[in-house]
Structures are given as C-alpha cells and as structure tokens.
Amino acid sequence: MNETVLDQVALEFREVMAKVCTPVAVITAFDDQRPHGTTVSAFTSLSMGPPMILVSLDRGSDLLAIIRRTGRFGVNVLAHDQADVAMRFARKGADKFDGVDWSDSAQLPRLDGAAGWLGCTTASLVDGGDHVVALGNIVETGVTSTAPLTYHDRVFGTHRAFEVAR
C-alpha cells in the first residue's frame, strides 16, 4: 500500500473506532507509595476461567512503566457521573490523585465512587504496535448498581436500554 492509502486507512480507522461505544476506566497502580492512574477505554474481559481482563496501554504511558515494575494494576470502571475523573486522569503528571478520594485495596489504589472494581496481577505484557496489552488475573472484585460512564463519538455518556413495548 502506498503512503496516501495508509494515511486514509489510519484516518478511517479512527472514525470507525469512534463509532464503537466503549466503557471508561481509570487503571491504577502504586509507584512506591504514590498512587498513579490513567484513563483508558481500551479494556475488556478476556477469560472467565480463570477470570482475566486485558488493557491496552500506549508505549509512552507512565502507568505502563509502573506496571512493568510492580506486576499489578487496578481497574476502576467509572460511574456515569465521573466524566471529570476521566478527564483528570487523561493527562500526564504525578499529581493526578491530588484532591481525589481513594483507598488502598489489594495493594492497589481504588477510587471512591466507581461503578466497578477489579484488582489484578499482571499475567503478561504483549506488544501490539504502538501499544502494549496488559493481561491481568483478577484477584479482587467490587460491584455497585451505579450506571457506567461510556465514550462514543468522542463524547461521554451512559447506556440507556431501549423502551420495551408492552
């Protein structure tokens, strides 16, 4: 394929992926004592037996560097009213947790108010283009009845079921 065709593929790939409604999570880990977190939409369940998930992290992610060292990470599935939390953790810096309520759970930073929680140990890290896929074994879970935050067409929202005809 020539360069123009590749550019077109890359462009349309982004547009197609914008049509995919994704969940939003903050992936967390401890950098020594300091909690660190990163917003992701690229995560999904991988295996039921054993329970596993996967998360795709940019090669330049500071969180990825921490996970490489520590071998564990937390998945905070954000709630519908946490778009501000998603934006806070989508920037760079060591201060993302400043003013944020959280606790230590399974030796991982766990955000207050999230819709769901998965504590994981890293099973493996797999290269994928400019990202690295972290496969996690789930060691702790936490679930609420709160509706989740979603990301679609580059805006945040939440899921609404169709009206059921009676």
Ligand X SMILES: Cc1cc2nc3c(=O)[nH]c(=O)nc-3n(C[C@H](O)[C@H](O)[C@H](O)COP(=O)(O)O)c2cc1C
Decide if residue 76 touches ligand X (CB under 6 A).
no
Pick the stretch among 4-12, 58-66, 97-105, 135-143 that binds ligand X (CB under 6 A). 58-66
Alpha helices in 37-127 (DSSP H): 62-70, 83-88
Is residue 73 within 8 Å of 108, Cβ to Cβ?
A: yes
In our burial notation (b when 16+ CB lie closer than 10 A, e otherwise), range 64-79 reads bebbeebebbbbbbbb
Return the residue of 53, 54, 57, 120 that touches ligand X, per CB under 6 A. 57
Among 101, 63, 54, 84, smallest CA distance to 149 is for 84
Decide if residue 91 touches ligand X (CB under 6 A).
yes
Which structure tokens are listed for 132? 């690295």
Return the number of the residue (55 or 138) whose C-beta is nearest ligand X: 55
Residue 44 pairs in a beta bridge with 54
Please state the closest distance from residue 79 (CB atom) to ligand X, in A: 15
* Residue with smallest beta-carbon separation from ligand X: 42
Return the number of the residue (73 or 151) whose C-beta is nearest ligand X: 151
**For ligand X, what does the binding mask look like between residues 37 and 56, x meaning CB under 6 A?**
-xxxxx-------------x
Residue 132 pairs in a beta bridge with 57, 127
The residue ranges that bind ligand X (CB under 6 A) are 24, 38-42, 56-58, 61-63, 86, 90-92, 151
